[in-house]
Amino acid sequence: MISERECPILTVSQITQYIKAMFSSDVLVQSISVRGEISNLVERGGHMYMTLKDEGAVIKAVIFRSSLARIKFRPENAMKVVAHGRINVYEQSGQYQLYIDMLEPEGIGALAQAYEQLKKKLEAEGLFDIKYKKKLPQIPSTVGVITSPAGAAVRDIINIMTRRFPLSKMLLYPSLVQGDGASRQLAEAVRYFNRTRSVDVIIIGRGGGSIEDLWAFNDESLAREIFASEIPVISAVGHESDFTICDFVADMRAPTPSAAAELAVPDSAELESRILSFESRMKSTLAGRLTRARKELDSLRSRRVMRTPSALLDDKNMRLAAVTEKLESAYGKIISDKKAEFSKKISQLEALSPLAVLSRGYAVALDEKDSLVRSVSDVKEGEKITIRVSDGRIIAEVCGAVNE
């Protein structure tokens, strides 16, 4: 029998609480970074549960909702990461696990990883497809600018627009361009211009900076707002070497805010030169047409009909008389031929007429119904019949009929 003096007997809860206290008192495991590969990743109730593993061991880990909101990228299975947090015991399962408060992809920063993940996602959805890009207006009356009113970007845009095309107005929507709330304000600015229809083209951007400085322009909600914009959007974020998600989803990407202003408005000097060129070409074209028209008019004026119009009428009258004579001759012959043919047909009909037969001494008998009597059986004794001869009719009564 085990003696309490020799070895204390503890409950499961007591030993678990003791081990938990050991972890809590160990400074090393209360702020520790762990390198491993994510597996068995699941989300429940806004929290994220996973296992970190290497070649020789595994450790359970959890990221609570409050910590998950600070992680810029999206953890995935098989992703190698460096996790920071504390190790403690979860009493209900008796397992020790890592409570993660910070997470970084191994070998690449969290922001860079989040950027690549979002870029891949939106590209797969077609938000970068060229078929959705809208054309910029050639001569906008008003340009909407979304940037910080205190930054150098807005001054550059004003200078370029004033120099290139002072007839276009600029409408500034002041917004944060970095830090908390910047992406929300930028998205609201895009919505405002689309709701009010107060501009013809939108420039959204800021000057250069680190990836952290430009991060507001890598926001998914802002990217979707730009894609949904019915007004063309020019993205001008950072310097020429900087690329953000806004650059890919916008209708046009400018390497700098100054370049965006050059894309948004035309060069008035160039426009004037083009107008003068068009004017010169139009004058040349019209002069050529007038010259050809004068030559054609002179040619028409030199014709005989223009000098003596009556000569043309005389020629036409002569031709008309000749044609009329030919028609009368042709129709006269046709009528003569038809009359001869008609007379011939009449002669043929008269030769076949029953009256012609009667004129040769024959007669035709008709019964009381004026039907032709063809046989002795067609009449009865005492019946009155009509005998048709060449010069009239004879009414007779049948006294008898004999078959021959």
Tell me the DSSP string of 291-357: HHHHHHHHHHHTSHHHH-HHHHHHHHHHHHHHHHHHHHHHHHHHHHHHHHHHHHHHHHHHHH-HHHH
Backbone torsion region of residue 27, taken as left when φ is above 0, otherwise alpha when ψ lies between -120 and 50, otherwise beta: alpha
- Predicted pLDDT of residue 351: 65
Decide if 146 contacts 189 (C-beta within 8 A): yes
Q: How far apart are CA 237 and CA 229, in angstroms?
A: 18
pLDDT for residue 140: 94
Measured CA to CA, the distance from residue 354 to residue 262 in angstroms comes to 110
The CA–CA distances, whole Å, from 101 to 43, 68, 93, 112, 146 equal 16, 8, 21, 19, 35
Buried b (16+ CB within 10 A) or exposed e, 215-246: bbbbbeebbbbbbebebbbbbbbbeeebbbbb
DSSP secondary structure string for all residues of 58-117: EEEEEE-HHHHTT--S---TT-EEEEEEEEEEETTTTEEEEEEEEEEETTS-HHHHHHHH
Residue in this structure with the two tokens 């019949």, named with its chain if needed:
385
- Residue 108 has a pLDDT of 59
Contact 380, 363 (CB under 8 A): no
User: From CA 385, how far away is CA 404, in angstroms rounded?
Assistant: 20
CA–CA separation, 214 vs 206, rounded Å?
8
Q: What is the maximum span of the chain, computed from C-alpha positions, in angstroms?
A: 174
Q: What is the DSSP string of 229-298?
A: -SS-EEEEESSTT---HHHHHSSEE-SSHHHHHHHHS--HHHHHHHHHHHHHHHHHHHHHHHHHHHHHHH
Distance from C-alpha of 221 to C-alpha of 246, rounded to nearest angstrom: 10
User: What is the pLDDT at residue 326?
Assistant: 86
pLDDT tens, residue by residue, 183-232:
999 999 999 999 999 999 999 999 888 878 888 999 999 999 999 999 99
CA separation for the pair 225, 195 (Å, rounded): 12
Tokens of 34: 């762990």
Q: What is the pLDDT of residue 230?
A: 96
Domains and CATH numbers, the chain: 12-107 (2.40.50.140), 116-128+140-266 (3.40.50.261), 356-397 (no CATH)
pTM: 0.53
Tell me the sheet residues that pair with 44: 47
**Cβ of 43: how many Cβ atoms within 10 Å?**
13
Helix (H, G, I), strand (E, B) or coil at 145: strand
Residue ranges of the chain with per-residue pLDDT less than 50: 1
Question: 31 - beta bridge partners?
Answer: none
Tokens 């020019």 locate to: 234
Token digits of residue 388: 């048709």
Which two structure tokens, joined as six digits, stand for 132?
């959705």
Residue 184 CB neighbours (<10 A): 15
Q: How far is CA 401 from the centre of its chain?
A: 103
